[in-house]
Amino acid sequence: MKYTTLPNTDIKVSKLCLGTMTWGNQNTQDEAFSQMDLATEKGINFFDCAELYPVPATAETYGETERIIGNWFKKTGNRDKVVLATKIAGSGDYTAHIRTNGFSPEALHNAVNKSLKRLKTDYIDLYQLHWPERQTNTFGVRDYKHIEDDKWQDNFKEVLQALDQIIKEGKIRHIGISNEKAWGTMRYLEESKTNSLPRMITIQNAYSLLNRVFEGDMAEISMRENIGLLTYSPMAFGVLSGKYIQGTASENSRLKLFPRFSRYSSGQSTKAAKAYLKLAKENKMSLAQMSLAFVTQQPFVTCNIIGATNLKQLNENIGSIHVSLNQDVIDSINRIHDILPNPAP
C-alpha cells in the first residue's frame, strides 16, 4: 500500500480509501465485515461512509452502513487502526426522511451524535457536508443555471461556527466538503481565514476517466489551496470495470439493480468506455486497474475511494495501487479524452 497525509494534518492515510455505500443493501453485514478484513489486511486504513448510506437512500435503510461499521469496530477492536470519515446528508426531497433543517447548528449536532452512536465511537476523524444546501449543478448536471427563487441564504460562517463547536467538544477532528463547486469551496476557505474558524481540508467529488470535470477550476483550487480531492466513483458505477459493455455483469451489480443510476450510461460514455477498454487490453491491463491507477496518480488526488460488492472485485481494485501508468498510456488516455471529453459530467 502507498500512504499520504490528509492535507494540513499529520494523519497518515492509505492512498486507497474503502468506500462503503453498498453495505446494508447490495451487501450483507457479513460481506461487509469480510471487505473490511481484506482491506485492512492489504494496508487500507481509511474508510469513507455517510449517514444516508446505503444507497439508494430510504427511511428503512437509513444509517445501516454506519451501524455495520460500528459492529465491526466492536467485534475487532480496530477503531484505532482506521481513519474514519462520514457525512451529514444534504437537503432535498431525497433526504427528507432524515431531516429538513439542512446544515443548521441543530442539524449538525444531531447528525454527529447519531453517527457516533451508530459507529460505536467517540470521535470521527473527518466529517463532511455531503452536498451543498444551495441549488447548484451537482450529480451529473453539466452547467450552472442560476435559480432566482432559491430560498437558501449564505450561511458558510454559521456552518463553520457550528462545526468549530463540535470539534471543541472532541467529537470530530477535521472537516471536509463533498459535491461542492469552486465558488462554495472558496467561500468556506475565505470564512475560515477571515474568522479564524476550522478549515475544510478535503473535497469529495466524482472523478474518473469518464468525468474529469474536476481538472478545471477545482484542480487549481485543490493545488493552490491544499484542499485534497477524495475521488468517488472512480469506476463510474462499475462501467469502467468493462462488465457492462462485455455483458459479464452479475444480477447483483448496481446498474442491474438500480437502472435509474444512469449517470455513466449514456451513448457517449459507453463509446468512451469501449475505447479505454481497448487501450487497457493493448497494454495488458484490466480496464479497472488502468482506470483506478489513472485517478490515484493525479497530483490533486489525496485518496481514491474504491468500492466493490465482492472480494474478487475488491482485491483487483486494491491491486491497482501497484500499477503505474507510463507516459505513453497517459498520452493515449488523453487522446481519447480529447475526442470524447467528459461524457458523464
Please list the alpha-helical segments (H only) found in the chain. 29-41, 64-76, 105-119, 156-168, 182-195, 217-225, 254-257, 267-282, 287-296, 311-319, 327-339
| 53 assigned to active site | yes
Task: Answer for the pair 118, 160: CB distance below 8 angstroms, yes or no.
Answer: no
From the centroid of its chain, how far is CA 84? 13
**What is the residue whose three cell numbers read 492515510?**
13
Beta strands per DSSP E along 10-104: 12-14, 16-19, 46-48, 83-88
209-242 b/e (C-beta count within 10 Å ≥ 16 → b): bbbbbbeeebbebbeebebbbbbbbbbbbbbbbb
Which of 3, 53, 94, 264 is catalytic? The answer is 53
Please give the Cα distance from 172 to 165 (Å, whole number).
Answer: 10
Cell representation of residue 238 = 462499475
Q: Using the 8-state DSSP alphabet, how is residue 132 labeled? A: -
Q: Shortest CA distance to 261 belongs to which of 17, 69, 26?
A: 26
The catalytic residues are: 53
